Amino acid sequence: MKFFVTTPIYYVNDVPHLGHAYTTIASDIVARFNRFLNKDVFFLTGTDEHGLKIQKAALEKNYDSPKKFVDELALRFKNLWDKYYISYDRFIRTTDEDHINLVKSVFLKCYKNGDIYKGVYKGYYCVSCEEFKSESEIKDNDYKCPIHNKPCEYLEEETYFFALSNYEKKLLKWYKLNPNFILPSSRRNEIINFVKQGLKDLSVSRPSSRVKWGIKVPFDKSQTIYVWFDALFNYMTAGLKKGFWPPNLHMVGKDILRFHAVYWPAFLMSLYKYDIEKKLKSFNFTEKEIKNWDEIQDKKKEKILKEILDVYLPQKVFGHGWWTVEGKKMSKTLKNVIDPEELLEKFGPSSVRYFLFAHVPFGQDGDFSYKAFVERYNADLANDLGNLFNRSINMAFKYFEGKVPYLDEDQRNILKNYLNKIKNMSLKEIEELYKKVYEEKVFENSDLDILLLGLLKKTIYEVIDYLEYVNLTKIFEVIWKYIRYINYYIDKTAPWRLKKEENIDRLRFVMYNILSSLFAIAALTYPIMPDKSKEMFNMLGYEVKDLKNHPEFAKKQNLLDYFFLEEGKTLRKGNILFPRLNLEEAK
């Protein structure tokens, strides 16, 4: 099964900031979890390099040409993503030749399809947004952009327009047919309300005399194609070339959700207008239904319509929130901008990757503070995960000369019986056993052992379920719930006491279970923290050479097979995974 995930392409008028890193790491985690599930993944990121903002920035910084300026900045993004182990398959740039050619061809096709026409635009323009603003959006803010708080420029100029108003009802129909198209649900309601207020036709070109840096309209060199029309089609340039279409997930910040959830599907509906109509005709839809498919109410026909649109339109757009710093908006003036390079140097990539999605429910706005970072790091990474690995490996060296203990035939049969029992247990039954063992602390030894395997099943099923809704925070929570249970299992089975009592059979069985659970944790955390997961696998005697793809030895056809570690395998002592942090040193 194919899976196509994208970040927005980032505007290169300045260096990468925390918001860029947040979106890109989120997309990387999603891509990696899908590889973990044996999907054929195509992960796209890149840079948006055309437009007036770039043109002005290059001039202000005394570059000979905008191209030299964007070449340098694109490299900064690539270098940062390498440091954060971003496993993209293509880094696209809007200055790439294949992209320029595609944009020209789709602009021409939308024009021939009757959705692009020439007119005169009068209105207020925000250079930072590269977008015209309605007077109602800015008049109460002294005609300043509500996002950038900079004065908007009043313009009156000849441009080409896209007939967005033609797609108002069709977009609403698409949202109805695909209720998970916009995530989280709160953002969906915002977009639907925006569209219901009425869509105005969108200016999709700028006079070349004013915006020189960009792709020229193929049939009118006096006009430059609007930077957002140019940028959005990067997904098509890269996706079609690799045989991935449509995108399964666009990951974006909430400030650009409108472009991806309104303009982008409308552009595609225009581009594929006659393809959609031809398919509807093949299913014997009437001429009226073909021309006005947004008015179809018949449930069977709606199902067919959705299946047709699914071939051409993105499946999901997730609009996440913004980060503030100790309650204040990030600002160069306030000198509180969080530099992802600086975070990397202080804490390493895995700690940052973990904190950003464990600390704040993904989708909501989040507040960054070093105090919160250190507290979360010490509790979840140093104590829960790091201590789990270090003490488990040390016990294996102390009690079994650094090897995974061998089980006898009776113990292997016990594990097989546990596995069969778990396969027949519902997730609800596993949760009830968890409450009994972990919360009420009423159990037999067999309950402890069964739950170690059962909770792994529940964890994997929940990871798959939460991944469908891009709920990264919940994914982290269920994995850490399992990590905490393994620590609880160690405390309750007390291998040190079994050794002291010379109960070697039970000690072998318990240590085998613990080490097998560590293998499962290394596999589950690989999408979150690939470099630290590599260290975990190394401790368990496995070599990870490629940090992009999920290790082949950690891809199991039967997900519960993660539990069964190779008996007799030689382990390795490693460094402390997550040394504790001191707040004063971290600031």
Enzyme catalytic residues: 17, 20, 126, 129, 145, 148, 329, 332
d(CA 384, CA 486): 9
Q: Of 187, 153, 189, 151, which is closest to residue 172 (Cα–Cα)?
A: 189
Q: Locate tokens 């692009």: which residue?
A: 116
**Helix ranges (DSSP H) in 292-328:** 299-309
C-alpha of 385 from chain center: 23
* Beta bridge mates, 182: 317
> If you compute the radius of gyration of the chain from its CA atoms, what whole number of angstroms results?
27
Tokens read off for 162: 């896209």
Q: Are strands 116-126 and 216-217 parallel, antiparallel or unpaired?
A: unpaired
Peptide bond into 184 cis (omega under 30): yes
Tokens read off for 59: 């001039």
Q: Of 336, 379, 376, which is closest to residue 357 (Cα–Cα)?
A: 376
d(CA 135, CA 573): 65
Q: Of 291, 254, 258, which is closest to residue 164 (Cα–Cα)?
A: 258
d(CA 51, CA 22): 24
DSSP 404: P
Strand locations in 241-290 (E): 249-253
Residue pair 125/117 in contact by the 8 Å Cβ criterion: no
